[in-house]
Structure 1
């Protein structure tokens, strides 16, 4: 596999060859990695989300700009808009998925994306990747009915099905490495400080 040919002087500008695996521009990926090896300070990535209450149990999050490779990224012409709500059993009207379901989506999506990148970087072609994820919690915790019950998920299970032009052992190695590199998996399993303030 041909790797990136170099980097430009401007921060965040990547010079690379075009190599596509699994729909991923591997040349660009390696080019970005080359930039970060030379300039570790450019590795800081800052995502942002803005949320607003709509009414009842319905609220809406807007995702657009973010900071990456030493500068603001304005490549998204239109924002992504995510609505969250609750089912009728929780006094909602299904205005959107429960935030906990978004968490499950984020986990599955992060693991899948990581797997695709890992396979592409190794020249492994994927024919199909599917996963099913299930999280279980006790509503008494979220409703404050018992101090002994946590509010969050008690357990999360995710099952993958992968078809690839690689031996089963190689796929198992990718699955193991995927769990080390996934941003959401690492955040959930190792924890992160969260600060809440009132302005």
Structure 2
């Protein structure tokens, strides 16, 4: 009987398959079109101030990949909602934090740094006079967001500072929130 050759175990750090991540990076480096992604969310009104965002798929490298998720969104009672779900601002901040979290985990993983804990706390102020149209001179959204990253693991302070800079330089949602994004609206009245 011949022994079966052992398949090498994947290199997994912080739950990230680093071998797969490096393969993705190299594949995109060789063929930039493989790195093109498209994200789509359809949101429908559910009554009162509630809405449901639904995701059916995304595209990577020109290929459609099925994904089925629903995200329910509401407002606090004080803002006309039923307070059943997080509101759009909380989802926006959660999306920023989640995107940066992935960045910290991946940046640590590719450096072989094991994480013990990671938390990001973000806050910002919105003056309702702008949103409610009370004063057109008041901004309708955030002027700034403050966030604090608490990270603990096998890295040094210098390594974590380098990772922090790398996350700010590469996180898609940090990028999206740190500069204007062109919005191209279309209205269809049915």
| TM-score normalised by L of structure 1 | 0.87
Indicate if the aligned counterparts of 1:17 and 1:27 stay in contact, CA closer than 8 A: no
Q: What is aligned with 1:50?
A: 42
- State yes or no: 1:127 paired with 2:116: yes
Q: Matches of 1:128 and 1:69 in 2, distance apart?
A: 33
Q: What is aligned with 1:87?
A: 76
Q: What is aligned with 1:157?
A: 146
Q: Matches of 1:126 and 1:159 in 2, distance apart?
A: 17
2:88 aligned to which of 84, 99, 103: 99
Count of paired positions: 181
- State yes or no: 1:173 paired with 2:165: no
| TM-score normalised by L of structure 2 | 0.91
Q: Matches of 1:166 and 1:92 in 2, distance apart?
A: 44
- String of CA shifts for 1:118-170, please: whole Å, max 9, x gaps: 11011111111011111211011000000110111122111111001011111
Two-structure CA RMSD over aligned residues (Å):
1.3
Which consecutive residues of structure 1, in runs of 5 or more, have no partner in the other structure? 1-15
Q: Matches of 1:85 and 1:186 in 2, distance apart?
A: 26
Compute the displacement of 1:195 (Å): 1.0
- State yes or no: 1:147 paired with 2:139: no
Which consecutive residues of structure 2, in runs of 5 or more, have no partner in the other structure? 1-7
Indicate if the aligned counterparts of 1:84 and 1:99 stay in contact, CA closer than 8 A: yes
